[in-house]
């Protein structure tokens, strides 16, 4: 009897020891399983999945820099920075050209001298069927090479001074530039000091004909007082209704000097 009890006690002890060992092994396996699962796809307290830090998103910051696209370009893989913004010339280059040539139509002609001019308004402006309801609609048709200092329309033409009709639309030409001269469409003209590209006077909310006549009278008076072509009249470019992404910023106002 005693031998049977002793045998049963030893058997129970053996079973207990084996059970504890298996439990410890299972616990270690569970910890390892949890560790691996946690590294591959654990969720933090906020319910956001963290894939080893490789796919983490910062939802509090929506600011973006240059767009980086991982594409195969010409058989080469790797990140490609896509610059979708317009290319502009170095501003120092434009400033240097302005110092050398200024804003004049014949800025490449060193022998050009000032001659007094008196604006004579045109009274018989044609009625035209083509209209620009917004200034922006016309400005979009102007190539960037005729945009001066990113602010004013300076459209060059090879015509003498005076009133002309181009493609059924009235213009007034002075010093090699054409200016809209419609009696119906609205133009915002600036009287610009070409030495420092500042605005001397504005003529806004008038018809193109009225605005240009008012501006040209004051321009001629100020230039005569200084015996110089310092001041000019130009439409201010309207950026109210959209951008001008179609402009070629490499083909700028001094395009024929490069």
pLDDT tens digits, one per residue of 157-193: 989 999 999 999 999 999 999 999 999 999 999 999 9
Q: Is residue 135 part of a domain?
A: yes
Query: Which range (3-12, 109-118, 143-152) has the least confidence?
Result: 3-12
| Percent of the chain surpassing pLDDT 70 | 61
Q: What is the value of pTM for the model shown?
A: 0.64
Residue reference for tokens 């001269």: 181
Please report the pLDDT score of residue 182 as a whole number: 97
Please report the pLDDT score of residue 102 as a whole number: 75
What would the pLDDT profile of 95-135 be if each residue is shown by its tens digit? 777 777 777 777 666 677 889 999 999 999 999 999 999 99
Q: Is residue 68 part of a domain?
A: no
Q: Is residue 103 part of a domain?
A: yes
What range defines the domain where residue 227 resides?
A: 91-107+124-257
Q: Is residue 19 part of a domain?
A: no
Please report the pLDDT score of residue 184 as a whole number: 95
Q: Is residue 5 part of a domain?
A: no
Residue 76 vs residue 161, higher pLDDT: 161
Q: Is residue 114 part of a domain?
A: no
b/e sequence 193-226, b meaning 16+ C-beta within 10 Å: bbeeeeebbebeebbbbbbbbbbbebbbebbeee
Contacts of 175 (CB under 8 A, 6+ apart): 104, 105, 161, 229, 232
Question: What total number of domains does the chain contain?
Answer: 1
């Amino acid at each position: 009897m005693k031998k049977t009890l002793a045998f049963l006690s030893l058997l129970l002890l053996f079973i207990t020891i084996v059970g504890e060992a298996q439990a410890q092994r299972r616990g270690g396996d569970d910890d390892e399983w949890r560790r691996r699962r946690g590294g591959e796809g654990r969720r933090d307290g906020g319910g956001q999945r963290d894939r080893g830090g490789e796919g983490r998103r910062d939802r509090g910051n929506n600011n973006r820099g240059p767009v980086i696209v991982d594409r195969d370009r010409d058989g080469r893989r790797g990140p490609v920075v896509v610059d979708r913004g317009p290319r502009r010339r170095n501003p120092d280059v434009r400033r240097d050209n302005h110092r050398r040539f200024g804003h004049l139509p014949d800025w490449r002609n060193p022998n050009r001298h000032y001659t007094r001019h008196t604006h004579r308004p045109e009274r018989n402006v044609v009625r035209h069927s083509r209209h620009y309801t917004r200034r922006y609609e016309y400005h979009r048709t102007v190539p960037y090479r005729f945009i001066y200092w990113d602010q004013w329309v300076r459209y060059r033409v090879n015509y003498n001074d005076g009133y002309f009709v181009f493609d059924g639309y009235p213009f007034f030409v002075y010093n090699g530039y054409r200016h809209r001269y419609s009696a119906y469409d609205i133009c915002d003209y600036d009287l610009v000091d070409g030495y420092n590209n500042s605005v001397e006077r504005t003529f806004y909310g008038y018809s193109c004909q009225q605005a240009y006549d008012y501006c040209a009278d004051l321009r001629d008076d100020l230039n005569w007082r200084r015996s110089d072509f310092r001041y000019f009249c130009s439409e201010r470019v309207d950026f109210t209704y959209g951008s001008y992404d179609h402009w070629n910023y490499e083909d700028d106002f001094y395009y024929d000097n490069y």
